[in-house]
Amino acid sequence: MISKDNYKYIYIRKLMKYMVTSRRKFIKISALGLGGLATTSAAFGLFKTNPLLDAAIKENVSKKLYRSATYCEVCFWKCAAWAYTDENNNIKKIIGNDDDPHCNGRLCPRGTGGVGMYSDEDRLKTPLIRTTVNGEQTYREASWDEALDLIASKFKDIKEEYGPESFALLKHGSPGSHLEHLFKAYGSDTIAEPAYAQCRGPRETGFGLTFGSWVGSPEPTDIRDTKCLVLIGSHLGENMHNSQVQEMSDAIDNGATIITVDPRFSTAASKSKHWLPIKPATDIALLLSWMHVLIEEDLYNKKYVEKYTKGFNELKAHVKTFTPEWAYGITTIKPEEIRKTARIMAAAAPSVIVHPGRHVTWYGDDSQRSRAIAMLNGLLGSWGNRGGFYFKEKISIPKYPHPDYPKPKWGWHDLGEQYPFAEMGITSEIIKATIPNEDNKHPIKAWMVAGTNLINTLPQREKTIEAINAVDFLVVIDTMPMEITGYADVVLPECTYLERYDGIRSATNRTPSIAVRVPAVKPKYDSKPAWWISQQIGKRIGLGDYFNYNDFEEVIEWQLNKLGTSLDEMKKIGVKHFDRKSGPLFLKEGQDYEFYTPSGKIEFYSQQLANKGFAPIPVYTAHPQPPQGFYRLNYGRSPMHTFSRTINNPNLSDLKSENMLWVNPKVARILGLKKHQEVWLKNQDDIVSTFSIKVRITERIRWDSVYLYHGFGHNNKKLSRAFGKGISDTELISKTVVDPLMGGTGLRGNFVSILTENPHKNSEL
């Protein structure tokens, strides 16, 4: 493995390549010297626990310690929890709230490690301002007033010179909503988040076009009552969507059949009756063939299709030739296996779920693949039926009064206008509009980046850095010194979710519920909550009317009162349930129902797509396969980590400190690889991984692919536990294929070769 000393030289060389013409130099913040109890369900058995012991601990803990209501921010699932603190204001433990449908009283392994976010000594501690000393760019510590005054002056300058729309917000997580309010009040809706175009956007388009409804989060899947769950590239159990994993375990205990389609034998595959190790990039062929079997064998849900769908005849004609024999040649899944699994789904229907997945930006035709998944559910009649998908409902949180937002002259919509089905800002379009180009109608001149480490999140790192170097001003708000913070003009240290109030969590579940987050402890160091940062900037730029409160507590109290409860009550219960108002969870036999599509029906044939020149029914298109000597780069989640942000977390790093490269034994034999041998990866564009990774030889991955956990390979030295550990998949994703419907970036068309010699050894000179 490359030593940390050698790393410095190599990394500087890499950066020089990126920044040779740049005005903005990356600054390693390190140069300044700045300073559970987990359970999952039994079928997975990742973290075994004794329910009696859990209850005893909860009882015991609640007697001795002070508890605060919160909801977890370690991932997007937002499980409601109790944070327990002792008399010295130390957080002793975080446990799930029993009344919360997101967690049912059990946090996942990552969630219990949330306390590590608070205690991490590598956290950002004070505002920092970029400065030049003896011709060298560096950071100096600043007071909040100084940092906020500087930011406010830039807000004013950008507005005056280019218009407020030229200031973009790139965000993730709870802090984003506070900053979004600031930006909208300022006059900019040039706002985007990687969670859309680099993650789940295509499935919302695919399901939206078919059922007239986004899937949303949490997905309205009635997994606990299902008889058959089909996972296509969705690795529940490793991707710890807490309540879904619990329900999947219950379903398995109740005899449900799990069918997993994945080139890797995932944890979910190990719990499945059928594992279909599909050739990557061929999923649409399998989906079309499944539909062919259901229709040709007369196994589809006829009553449901007749009553609720439109375009069945067109679909029937479309899939006529997509026999399992046709699909076999493409997917490598045997025809009898395709037929057998289609029949299992039909036998379970309508209590069957073909899961929409979550991270679905794969090959560029992802909205159409998601649509094929939605249509398969339509044929089976699972949408609106027990054991399938339920009709979700959520409480609308009253808006705290503020003046109307000004109407921007342009915004995210205009940047993504070539993608007619985009419904949120597209991060890659913000990057494009930031890189100077004379054809650019809407140039972006400044960025605020909150809670997202764009360097390790977005593909095509060179382009991200080119855009960063082009902006006049960059503010980064984060709890940790991530790679992105080194490019900022101003760095603001945000406090963690355990130290702040945030917006009320309103969840779509079987019954609507709300949850609150109140501070369990005072902010450590000189960190501040995003609501305060937004308010302070707002007041400085004349937008005080939009932030007409002393403390966010006041906002929550007002909203809770409108909802018929109070902050006092919510502090005691953490989660409150409300009665459903939109009707039953499921359709009644023969019930009339209007879907939110133009036709009011589930649309097998989409006139909306046809009108825009797209295929009205999904078609299979062949995607490039790895050339000789290369393997498809597949990546996914580890149960212990979320994105790149948790890798340095002291509690979670203890559980998993580095990723490994899954390699099929055949490949290992050809390349002469040994177990735990250190290797480097080089992609099709000659990008070589900065660090090395250990080999894991396993039959659990197809011979044409390699696999690693996402989020590792940090190159910021201030991340004392995460620095240099493993390989970053993002670093090697230089090729993307854009989804023409909604602008999502397909990330799984990258191929790597495995290097056994240290490619950086000459850099040690």
Q: What is the contact surface with ligand SF4 in residues (CB under 6 A)?
A: 72, 74-75, 77-79, 103, 107-108, 110-111, 240, 242
CA atoms of 519 and 559, how far apart (whole Å) = 18
Instruction: For ligand SF4, give the closer residue by CB, 538 or 636.
Output: 636
Q: How far apart are the first and last CA of the chain?
A: 16
Instruction: For ligand SF4, give the closer residue by CB, 72 or 471.
Output: 72
Cβ at position 491, least distance to ligand SF4 in Å = 25
Cβ at position 245, least distance to ligand SF4 in Å = 8
Residues in the chain, total: 765
Instruction: For ligand SF4, give the closer residue by CB, 515 or 602.
Output: 515
Other CB atoms within 10 A of residue 441 CB? 10
Task: Mark 546-577 as b/e (b = at least 16 C-beta within 10 Å).
Answer: bbeeeebeebbbebbeebebebeebeeebbbb
Main-chain dihedrals φ then ψ at residue 172, nearest 5 degrees? -155, 145
Instruction: For ligand SF4, give the closer residue by CB, 151 or 647.
Output: 647
Instruction: For ligand SF4, give the closer residue by CB, 77 or 712.
Output: 77
Is residue 353 within 8 Å of 260, Cβ to Cβ?
no
**CB under 8 Å to 293, separation ≥6 — which residues?**
299, 324, 338, 339, 342, 343
Instruction: For ligand SF4, give the closer residue by CB, 74 or 342.
Output: 74
Instruction: For ligand SF4, give the closer residue by CB, 103 or 342.
Output: 103
CA atoms of 43 and 456, how far apart (whole Å) = 33
Cβ at position 651, least distance to ligand SF4 in Å = 12
What count of Cα atoms within 13 Å lies in the side-chain half-sphere of residue 248? 30
The candidate with the shortest Cα–Cα distance to 232, out of 348, 366, 329, 356, is: 356
Is residue 692 within 8 Å of 1, Cβ to Cβ?
yes
Amino acid at 300: Y
Cβ at position 575, least distance to ligand SF4 in Å = 13
- Beta strand pairing call for 274-276 and 257-261: parallel
Cβ at position 482, least distance to ligand SF4 in Å = 18
Other CB atoms within 10 A of residue 378 CB? 30
Is residue 72 within 8 Å of 114, Cβ to Cβ?
yes
Residue at shortest CB range from ligand SF4: 111
Cβ at position 645, least distance to ligand SF4 in Å = 11
Cβ at position 73, least distance to ligand SF4 in Å = 7
Is residue 427 within 8 Å of 738, Cβ to Cβ?
no
Instruction: For ligand SF4, give the closer residue by CB, 468 or 655.
Output: 655
Cβ at position 501, least distance to ligand SF4 in Å = 18
Instruction: For ligand SF4, give the closer residue by CB, 112 or 690.
Output: 112
- Beta strand pairing call for 167-171 and 191-192: parallel
Instruction: For ligand SF4, give the closer residue by CB, 128 or 240.
Output: 240
Instruction: For ligand SF4, give the closer residue by CB, 15 or 57.
Output: 57
Instruction: For ligand SF4, give the closer residue by CB, 108 or 168.
Output: 108
Cβ at position 106, least distance to ligand SF4 in Å = 8
Cβ at position 108, least distance to ligand SF4 in Å = 3
> What is the layout of strands, in order, in the sheet containing 490-493?
136-141, 128-133, 490-493, 473-478, 446-450, 167-171, 191-192
Both structure tokens of 121: 């000594």
Is residue 691 within 8 Å of 731, Cβ to Cβ?
no
The candidate with the shortest Cα–Cα distance to 502, out of 515, 518, 487, is: 518
- Beta strand pairing call for 91-96 and 80-85: antiparallel
Cβ at position 74, least distance to ligand SF4 in Å = 4
CA atoms of 734 and 713, how far apart (whole Å) = 16
Cβ at position 479, least distance to ligand SF4 in Å = 15
Only one residue has tokens 């009320």, namely 504
Cβ at position 107, least distance to ligand SF4 in Å = 4
Instruction: For ligand SF4, give the closer residue by CB, 111 or 378.
Output: 111
